[in-house]
Structure 1
């Protein structure tokens, strides 16, 4: 019987996307390479735990949950995140950024300066620019200022990001246009915290890093894994947590967050025998924010 591994999720490094496994092992994913694994027969999906600790009760979680945590572990994980505003005294400096995912899809967010662009890669940002840098609470106030004054959201659902990847503007200049427009509006606003240093526009494009240039439109997306199921295909693109896999039936998107909590085994033969739902392409995407 093949040894089973548990996946901790997809991470982005200078080498590109990597699958991380319990125990610290990493598998670098190369475009054009094959991704193939099976779910252990008779297995169940268990809670991924919180903050690096195993779930105390080993709770079973739903196959379609991208969080892979039981209610209690999800609460603990959220309570100790920057997003929950529980670390007001965090001494680290933070960046405020504008991230663009497709026409009309631009959000504001914050990330620790020491993390560099990792957070933007993890979110699948097609391009982005820093807006400013400073203490955590100043960064938070700036984020709120943009949400209120410019109606820029701080969240965009992954389903919406996926829906436009095969129809992005062809040039980096066209992709950067909305970021430049909102950056100019943002830095002109009154009410910025004095401790937050404004940053000039410098749009970074991730189309090359993600492999999205000319990526075929997806025909389906994995709805969830199942015991005994197999996933296999050629990696044609990777953005955020998503792997775009070329299969015999066309390109199928796998959200790697669906892999956590399962015991996975090698599947050299590949194939695709897990539940797949029809891909929902973008419909009526707006031309801009304003």
Structure 2
């Protein structure tokens, strides 16, 4: 099940979110920098509502300076894995993650299906990643907006697995051509995360595609002081919560937008009294009224 972590001072908690249950909170005051590497921002800086990083420029620099992605940890002794991830038709990527993290990185990115390709030292994994990106013509990242656009109508499990297997076969053909000897190739084993994300199950018999969780039609652009998000959780992939709205549609809340806010619980529909400001497919939240459905669990 998806989880949402939150803290107040040194008090840190995790709330387990259940599909079909209600979820509600109100943003209060100003949004402040969340700091870097577990440390509080020394400036207590206010950050923009639309920032998905939730950090001021200085804390963002410090956070990235100690990340694997910045290539500043060449002497890291841990074992890393190279993965092949599929996010939807035509959207695949190659990446690396620490072996001890298991599939956490793939869940964080919202990978619908994936397979491990190899394991080994950091620099061997990084080199393999670079070789495969260049040879296979795949990007190093896929925008979340593109991932969200296809989640409502995914092909069946067989087609998803086939896409990963095809990418794996193309990657395996490159072994020995720039592939470091210290990287051990792992066998193809497709892991499908549609059920984990709440995006429905396999297609019904005789049908190539089945309706998944309702396709999101709007997304939260930013929160504001007093802004309320309240609704029924229908899916969760990567940082995105898919929330059913009163008009029958689905709004996506990127949870990276709520970091740095003080939040209070909202549990009653009577607390929702305003009207959302909508521009195109985006919602700037003085309010989203998503209606009832289920009972809120341990959040706050």
Q: TM above 0.5, one fold?
A: yes
Q: Is the 8 A contact 1:220 1:277 kept in 2?
A: no
CA 1:197–1:25 in 2, change beyond 3 Å: closer, same or farther?
Answer: same
Matches within 5 A, 1:139-288: 139-169=125-155, 171-189=156-174, 190-213=177-200, 214-249=212-247, 250-270=249-269, 271=272, 275-279=277-281
Aligned partners of 2:185 and 2:275: how far apart in 1? 50
Q: Is the 8 A contact 1:222 1:274 kept in 2?
A: no
CA deviations over 1:230-260 (Å, ceiling 9, x no partner): 1001000000000000111321000000110
* Residue number in structure 2 paired with 1:106: 92
RMSD: 1.4
Aligned partners of 1:20 and 1:273: how far apart in 2? 28
Q: SS state of the match for residue 229, structure 1?
A: strand
Aligned partners of 1:38 and 1:119: how far apart in 2? 29
* Residue number in structure 1 paired with 2:206: none
Shift of residue 219 of structure 1? 2.1
* Residue number in structure 1 paired with 2:204: none
Aligned partners of 1:122 and 1:32: how far apart in 2? 21
User: In the alignment, is residue 65 of structure 1 matched against residue 51 of structure 2?
Assistant: yes
CA deviations over 1:78-132 (Å, ceiling 9, x no partner): 1110000000010000000001100000000000000000000011000000000
CA 1:261–1:278 in 2, change beyond 3 Å: closer, same or farther?
Answer: same
CA deviations over 1:22-56 (Å, ceiling 9, x no partner): 1221100000111100112xx11000111001111
Q: SS state of the match for residue 2, structure 2?
A: strand
* Residue number in structure 2 paired with 1:81: 67
Aligned partners of 1:198 and 1:24: how far apart in 2? 39
TM-score w.r.t. the length of structure 1 is 0.88
Moved more, 228-237 or 212-221: 212-221
TM-score w.r.t. the length of structure 2 is 0.85
Q: Which runs of 5+ in 1 are unaligned?
A: 1-15, 281-290
Aligned residues: 262
Aligned partners of 1:220 and 1:37: how far apart in 2? 19
